[in-house]
Amino acid sequence: MAAKSSSRTRKPTHEAFVVTGAGENAFWTKIGAAWPHEDTKGFNVELIALPVSGRLVIRERKETSQ
């Protein structure tokens, strides 16, 4: 059986945020990242924190130039 590529060997395609508040007063905190499954029907999500309030939002990752 061939080894499957790990989410750690690829860049994430999405980022995870917890959002509190609404509109212009919303506060977004990045708390993780997500990688699509090989069959594209789901995601693996790795979080560095667990929110106790607010909304969990998964957004497509924006490429940044470095």
Question: Once rounded to an integer, what is the mean pLDDT over residues 11-23?
Answer: 96
Q: Report the b/e string of 30-50 with b at 16+ CB within 10 A.
A: ebbbbbeeeeeeebebeeeee
Residue 28, domain member (yes or no) = yes
Residue 51, domain member (yes or no) = yes
Question: Once rounded to an integer, what is the mean pLDDT over residues 38-64?
Answer: 93
Residue 21 has pLDDT above 90, yes or no: yes
- Helices vs strands, H then E, count in the chain: 0, 4
- The boundaries of the domain holding residue 29 are 7-60
How many separate domains does the chain show?
1
Residue 66, domain member (yes or no) = no
Percent of the chain with pLDDT over 70: 82
